[in-house]
Amino acid sequence: MSDERVVIAVDCSTTGVKASVWNADGTEVASGRAELDLSIPEPGRGEQDPRQWWTAMQSAVRKAVDGFDISRVVSLTVTHQRETFVCLDEHGEAVRPAMLWLDSRAGEQVDRYGSADVHDRTGKPPNTTVSYYKLLWLAEHEPEVLSRTAHVVEVHGYLVHCMTGLWATSTASMDPTGLVDIRTGDYDAAVLTHLGLDRSQLSILHPPGDVIGGLATDAAKLLGLLPGTLIVAGAGDGQCAGLGAGVAAPGRAYLNIGTGLISGTFSSRYQPDRAYRAMLGTIPGSFAYETFVGAGTYMISWFINTFTRPSETFRGGVEATLESEAAVVPRGSDGLYVVPYWNGALTPYWDHEARGIMVGLQGVHHRAHIYRAVLEGVAFELRVSQDQVEQATGDSVEEFVAMGGGSQCPLWCQIIADVLRRPVVLSRQRETTCLGAGMLAAYGAGLFPSIRCAADAMSATDLRYEPDPKAADDYEALYRRYAAIYPAFRSFFHDRIEVMA
């Protein structure tokens, strides 16, 4: 294996595109980034111009390889925001803006068409994130869009077409849309029939790590790379984050503390349950069982915008100041609980009508109490999901590998370790999602004999947080009270009251 060869991983997320150049030991040797515009035309809707995915990718890759010997680049792989899709006409132009994963307009379709049978076949409990229900919304509210649609593609498939001219994608990229039978790894015939779609309108499926084709000459010029560079099938950002964290066998879980908080475990068997959403994994024959708390660092941003003033001065930064204030507040925040359903409840309740809850607020509570209760509430919510996953699968997790912006908060990592009663270790590389895609690119280029070997060679961990026995015992009692809050409030969210203007 030559040390000279490098691979490129491109992460097309909701807000930007990151291109990372990796060598075979998992070191990022260069990178570039470009921003994306996000359109929220009205509450509950999220859209993007898919052309920006490609132009932003061009910018990010060109920045990453500026001054670099591009003859060393042997392959490129894309990872991406999942469930986001776009309808294209016969010329490959968007019929309407892309609908993002966070778009929740399809609530009625979820209620009407979501079923245990669809869940069992696709692995996706009925919820508004899944593209299938958004396509049903289009069929009802914008039928002219589907009548003009020649291709339905997710982000990976769109960018692969831009790079190669092929309509091809990864099974682990298309799977999150809900159009794939997770048991077979092929399109679900009943789902396509219900949507009125034909296989010819969908991309050819490749397993992660498979070479899809070579980079076309025109695309190579736009990216600043050599024609023929191998384009390797990638996976969604969650699956790539797990691979980048080295979660390639049972007993370990990844914990991505980003805008939302996603945790995932590895399994070699498929077992559907509402406690998690099942995704096709990056390693052949594997599945990722994911839990999703829709409030991670989003809650921190909300707190800062709500409880701090622009004129305030924070020595060492606002987040460090808030953390130091919260660190002196007793465990349990003096009786204050926060249930972080600011964006509804995902696993394990799948309740898009749920809303955030504060319980126990008193006059003695101040900013630091609320901040600590937010950190504890997200940790408790993770524990709710994790307990149900382990109960459903019978598999236990020995440690969590954390990544994402929230993993840089020591207090939060320690709270999570104490609440889960498991060690939390930090991934050595902060760009874990890009690293996972880089592993697939390295395998596809022949740098490793298997994807698992690539993961073993390129991943590593850093700082470790061990659960404190006394704190874990304290949090156990607090968690039992927390776990009873949402069930007590559920009917409140579903009893609609019409308020006259």
> What average pLDDT does the segment 120-139 reach?
96
> What average pLDDT does the segment 475-487 reach?
97
| 124 in a structural domain | yes
Instruction: Quickly list H helices, 114-248.
Output: 116-122, 131-141, 143-147, 155-164, 171-174, 189-195, 217-223, 237-244
> What average pLDDT does the segment 86-100 reach?
98
Tokens (6 digits) for 194: 């219900």
> What average pLDDT does the segment 32-60 reach?
95
Report yes or no: 59 and 34 within 8 Å, Cβ to Cβ: yes
Structural domain including 164 reads: 6-239
Global pTM reads: 0.91
Q: How many domains does the chain have?
A: 1
Bigger pLDDT: 500 or 363?
Answer: 363
Query: Count of alpha carbons within 13 Å of 9, Cβ hemisphere only?
Result: 34
> What average pLDDT does the segment 212-234 reach?
98
Q: What percent of the chain has pLDDT over 70?
A: 98
C-alpha 21: how far from chain center: 21
Report pLDDT for 134.
98
Q: pLDDT, tens digit, for every residue of 341-392?
A: 988 898 999 988 899 999 999 999 999 999 999 999 999 999 999 999 999 9
> What average pLDDT does the segment 259-268 reach?
91
| 101 in a structural domain | yes
Q: Evaluate if residue 3 carries a pLDDT over 80.
A: no
Q: pLDDT, tens digit, for every residue of 278-309?
A: 999 999 999 999 999 988 888 999 999 999 98
Report pLDDT for 343.
83
What is the SS3 assignment for 500? Answer: coil
| 235 in a structural domain | yes
| 198 in a structural domain | yes
Q: Evaluate if residue 2 carries a pLDDT over 50.
A: no
Among 95-99, 247-251, 274-278, which is the least confidently predicted range? Answer: 247-251
Which residues pair with residue 11 across a beta bridge? 18, 79
> What average pLDDT does the segment 240-250 reach?
94
Q: Evaluate if residue 499 carries a pLDDT over 60.
A: no
Q: Which residues contact 359 (CB under 8 A, 6 or more apart)?
A: 336, 337, 339, 485
| 287 in a structural domain | no
Report pLDDT for 495.
81
> What average pLDDT does the segment 244-260 reach?
91
Write out the H or E segment, with its range, that includes residue 453: helix 451-458
Q: Evaluate if residue 69 carries a pLDDT over 90.
A: yes
Pairing between strand 399-403 and 252-257? Answer: parallel
- Number of other CB atoms surrounding residue 96 within 10 Å: 16
Q: Which residues contact 293 (CB under 8 A, 6 or more apart)?
A: 260, 261, 262, 340, 346, 347, 378, 381, 382, 385
**Residue 174 belongs to a domain with what CATH number?**
3.30.420.40
Q: pLDDT, tens digit, for every residue of 405-460?
A: 899 999 999 999 999 999 999 999 889 999 999 999 999 999 999 999 999 999 99
What is the distance between the alpha carbons of residues 302 and 305, in angstroms, rounded to a whole number? 5
Report pLDDT for 494.
85
Q: Evaluate if residue 119 carries a pLDDT over 70.
A: yes
Sign of the alpha-carbon dihedral angle for 477, 482, 483, 487: positive
| 31 in a structural domain | yes
Among 57-71, 81-95, 153-167, 337-351, which is the least confidently predicted range? Answer: 337-351
| 389 in a structural domain | no
pLDDT interval class at 497 (50, 70, 90): low
Q: pLDDT, tens digit, for every residue of 189-208?
A: 999 999 999 999 999 999 99
> What average pLDDT does the segment 261-269 reach?
93
Report pLDDT for 396.
92
Report yes or no: 126 and 104 within 8 Å, Cβ to Cβ: no
Q: What percent of the chain has pLDDT over 90?
A: 87
> What average pLDDT does the segment 69-89 reach?
97
> What average pLDDT does the segment 396-400 reach?
95
| 281 in a structural domain | no
> What average pLDDT does the segment 57-85 reach?
97
Q: Evaluate if residue 117 carries a pLDDT over 50.
A: yes
Pairing between strand 261-267 and 252-257? Answer: antiparallel
Report pLDDT for 1.
39
Which has the closest alpha carbon to 418: 338, 459, 478? 478
Query: Count of alpha carbons within 13 Å of 362, Cβ hemisphere only?
Result: 6
> What average pLDDT does the segment 85-113 reach?
96
Q: What is the mean pLDDT of the chain?
A: 94
